[in-house]
Amino acid sequence: MNRRLKKSIRIFYRFRILYLMLLPCIVWFIIFNYVPMVGLIVAFKEFKYNMGILRSPWVGLYYFKEFFNYYNTPHLILNTFFVGFLKIVLFFPLPVIFALMLNEVGIRLFKKFAQTISYLPYFLSWVVVSAFVFRVLAPNDGLLNQIIGKLGGNSEIFYMMEKKYFYQIMFLSYLWKNLGWSSIIYLAAISGINPELYEAAEVDGANNFWKVIHVTIPGIRSTIGIIFILSLGDILKTGFEQNFLFRTPGNMDAADILDTYVIRTGLMRGQFGYATAIGMLQGIVGLIFIIIANKLARMYTEVSLW
């Protein structure tokens, strides 16, 4: 047994409890992320129920060609990229800022209250959130329109039927639902910063603002970088639930993205091979984004996944 293997065994034994705690996560990823990859073979086959996946005839790249020849493909891709930009790039710094703000709250009771209130929306399903949004934005008797009516404005606007309001509504509801939950990991990273660094900054005459700039942010920079790199992998997989539930005949042109299109073609129309091909393309593009972002981060910063 060589020295490196002996060292690895010693490290594994030393942190055996932590590895044991990690085991359920590993099992979950294997079952729900790696095992389903076998199903990608459907993207290259004409799936037939009576023949199963393995015995169904091969069609090669037929479904990929069909997707790229579809007249609405450029619109779906652009829509998906824009929604991904809103949910990943534009949303990304907000949980960081929120975590920094919470960390500066001196009243412990208020801090716990603010954390609890911000976390709660995350545990609501998008079905509940969409019903809430539709009710608040309903024409005439919706909360927003009632306020506008009291102020002398037009209270008959059905915001969910207007394409021009869709992205604002989508982003604000996503922000409300996920802001608090997404800030948890940054709060955990902040709590791991050595308190002596803050004491040294105080000795140097730094106030709270400069302590955040020179101690807190550098202390969580690696966490921010890694999470951002990983999040870019979902640039084309922004989740179908919100867009699917927020779609109406009026805003469908803005709400339709690749995820909703995959659900319609795969589950509703039974075109499993076609839908699998689109999902495979989404994963490939996400992987390319992660590789490029990781390479750039490694070139210009000390943060990288590998």
Q: What is the pLDDT of residue 23?
A: 92
Grade residue 198 by pLDDT with cuts at 50, 70 and 90: confident
| pLDDT computed for residue 13 by the predictor | 86
Q: What is the pLDDT of residue 1?
A: 56
Greater confidence (301 vs 223) lies with 223
Sorted by where each begins, the domain ranges of the chain are 1-60, 61-300
In which band, very low, low, confident or very high, does the pLDDT at 78 lie, cut at 50, 70 and 90? very high
pLDDT tier at 134, thresholds 50, 70, 90 = very high
Question: Which two structure tokens, joined as six digits, stand for 202?
Answer: 């105080």
CATH number corresponding to 61-300: 1.10.3720.10
303 three-state secondary structure: coil
User: What angle (nearest 5°) sits at the alpha carbon of residue 108, between those of residues 208 and 106?
Assistant: 20
For the chain, first and last CA: distance in Å?
27
Number of C-beta neighbours around residue 254 at 10 A: 20
Asked whether the beta carbons of 187 and 112 are under 8 A apart, the reply is: no
Q: Which tops the pLDDT comparison, 304 or 275?
A: 275
- The residue-averaged pLDDT of 6-27 equals 88
Q: Measured between alpha carbons, how far is 27 from 41 in angstroms, rounded to an integer?
A: 23
pLDDT at 122 over 90: yes
Q: What is the mean pLDDT of the chain?
A: 89
- When pLDDT is cut at 50, 70 and 90, the band that residue 24 belongs to is very high
225-242: per-residue pLDDT in tens? 889 888 888 888 887 889
Give φ, ψ of 221 to 5 degrees.
-60, -40
Helix (H) or strand (E) holding 185: helix 184-191
Q: What residues have CB less than 8 Å from 62, skipping those under 6 apart? A: 46
Q: How many C-beta atoms lie closer than 10 Å to residue 173's C-beta?
A: 19
